[in-house]
């Protein structure tokens, strides 16, 4: 249900959205397309973590930005030691403005060349 809500929010914000039910499905979609620039993932996915998914995708797409969403607290997220120059975090429950702001901040970093 959260994935469907997030998809609706992103489409409402004007983004094209590719949606996957789990990490393996996301990897399969990524193998077929070059047309995505932001990964939005929960920290906890069936079969692999969102961190593992982001790491796998960044192996071939080092510029990939990642928005992590989780029911965990920000402190718990920070304890994972994730490199934040290409990432952002928002806790559940989230709102449309939070998603929009997080994506905007990530795309602004990319536009400024922070990842290169």
What pLDDT, on the 0 to 100 scale, is given for residue 112?
61
What is the residue-wise DSSP string for the chain? -HHHHHHHHHHHTT------SSHHHHHHHHHH-----EEEEESB-SSSBHHHHHHHHHHH-TT-EEEEEESS-HHHHHTTT---TTEEEEESS--HHHHHHHHHHHHHHHHTTTT-
As a CATH number, domain 2-111 is 3.40.50.2300
List per-residue pLDDT tens for the chain, 116 residues long. 788 888 988 898 888 999 999 999 999 999 998 878 899 999 888 889 999 999 999 999 988 999 999 988 788 887 887 877 788 999 988 888 898 899 988 888 766 664 44
Please state the pTM of the whole predicted model: 0.85
């Amino acid at each position: 249900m959260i994935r469907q809500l997030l998809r609706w929010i992103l489409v409402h914000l004007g983004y094209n959205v590719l949606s996957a039910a789990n990490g393996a499905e996301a990897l399969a979609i990524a193998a077929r397309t070059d047309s995505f620039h932001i990964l939005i993932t929960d920290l906890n996915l069936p079969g692999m973590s969102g961190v593992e998914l982001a790491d796998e995708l960044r192996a071939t797409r080092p510029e990939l930005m990642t928005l992590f969403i989780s029911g965990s607290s920000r402190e718990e997220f920070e304890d994972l030691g994730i490199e934040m120059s290409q990432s952002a975090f928002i806790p559940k429950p989230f709102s449309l403005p939070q998603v929009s702001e997080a994506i905007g901040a990530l795309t602004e970093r990319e536009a400024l060349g922070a990842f290169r």
